[in-house]
Amino acid sequence: MPDNNTKAPETRRVYIDYNATTPLKPEVKAAMIADMEVYGNASSMHASGRLAHARVEQARNAVEKLLGAAAGTVVFTSGGSESNNTVFQTMRSLASNPDGSPLPSGRNEFIITAIEHPCVLNSALYLQSLGFKVTFLSVDEYGKIKIDELKKALSDKTLLVSIMAANNEIGTVQDIKTITALAKAAGAWMHTDAVQAVGKIPLNVEDLGVDYLTMSAHKIYGPKGTGGLYIKKGAPLFPLIHGGHQEDGLRAGTYNNLGILGLGKAAAIAAGELEKYGREISALRNRLRDGLTAAIPNIKINGHPIDVLPNTLNVSFPGAEGEAILLSMDIKGIEASTGSACASGSLEPSHVLLAIGVGPELAHGSIRFSLGWGITAEDIDYIIGTLPPIIARLRAMSSL
């Protein structure tokens, strides 16, 4: 974990960008290092293979426990992007002619929201480019979908509803249980991208009733490049990657033993720490929110005030430019983000902030702070003390 507090003030680094990625938990790192000796191919019959296979299945068990999922319902993937793409391509296969064009009748329509992560948005836009109808639900000023709009959009043509459990930029949490009930009543398949929600808020796939749920290891202190897809028993799934018969033929490729073991370890730890995480991380987030609100005039907090991830704080600073704030903070050792890591470097204002009604100019002056294990109250106070002169200087420059 980042060791922020032993650093001298001028070299202090406060990593507060945990929605972009998390460091490995020390226990995860130790387990992975120990497992580097386990080199067998998990599909081999011999003892080395059986040992690797046992580790993979232990990890699956831990992930299924974290999600409240039945045994054998989680498939390992290379991460959230692959899991989400697999669901969309499965639906495409279900609703396509052999030439790839949408079937003219039957269920061939998709419903997503305007604030999905790019890997869902672009999967849907790709299907739209092939001729499939996609409805992009709007959200209110807090980032919540409007249930009436969903009801109106659902029909006997709806094939898939895909709505994220929690937003990566503003942290708003959707009511997936209610949304799923409506989607299922309309006869559609229901998927949720829960990459940001898993390990941060309680989630149980049986209780939610979803058909598919996406998660990723590197958001829960596990390794990058490993993730999972929950598939309810009976829900269709076609492989995105064809090859050997790993994962019951649902995801080919030699098992990424090390990544999977790390994911399993991270999932087991997250399950045991969920309550503590909610309590301790939200207290630190609230300290940051209240401290910034008191120290800097005229700021706007984005996201839902209650239905929000415990770790996320998105703040708009009118009159200051986001990239300039980031760079100034970086010089002082504070590492945050202007939006999702996938969108940073883009000059486009955040599609999430635009969708909740933040204007383009203000969207450009918004910062996402996302907290996690390793952040201390001293780190938060350091940010609260460091940011006001930065904002004051940038505002003065912009008014010149």
Ligand X SMILES: Cc1ncc(COP(=O)(O)O)c(C=O)c1O
Query: CA–CA separation, 301 vs 312, rounded Å?
Result: 11
Q: Cβ 137 to ligand X, closest distance in Å?
A: 16
Amino acid (1-letter code) at residue 293: T
Nearer to ligand X, 265 or 332 (CB): 265
The interaxial angle of helices 257-295 and 47-67, nearest 10 deg, is: 30
The residues, any chain, with a CB within 8 Å of residue 125's CB and separated by 6 or more, are 134
Kindly list the distances between the CA atom of residue 360 and the CA atoms of 118, 356, 365, 367, 396, in Å, as whole numbers in the listed order.
19, 11, 9, 14, 20
The residue with its CB nearest to ligand X is: 80
Q: Cβ 149 to ligand X, closest distance in Å?
A: 21
Nearer to ligand X, 63 or 164 (CB): 164
Q: Cβ 386 to ligand X, closest distance in Å?
A: 26
Q: Cβ 115 to ligand X, closest distance in Å?
A: 10
Nearer to ligand X, 84 or 328 (CB): 84
Nearer to ligand X, 228 or 322 (CB): 228
Report which secondary-structure segment, H or E, holds 370: strand 366-370
**Helix/strand/coil for 361:** helix
Which residues of this protein are in contact with ligand X, per CB under 6 A? 79-81, 117, 119, 164, 168, 193, 195-196, 216, 218, 227, 340, 342
Question: Of the residues 241, 295, 342, 354, which is catalytic?
Answer: 342
Q: How many CB atoms lie within 10 A of CB 66?
A: 26
Q: Cβ 126 to ligand X, closest distance in Å?
A: 16
Nearer to ligand X, 42 or 163 (CB): 163
Query: CA–CA separation, 44 vs 340, rounded Å?
Result: 40
The residues, any chain, with a CB within 8 Å of residue 85's CB and separated by 6 or more, are 119, 123, 240
> Would residue 119 show up in a list of annotated catalytic residues for this protein?
no
Enzyme catalytic residues: 342
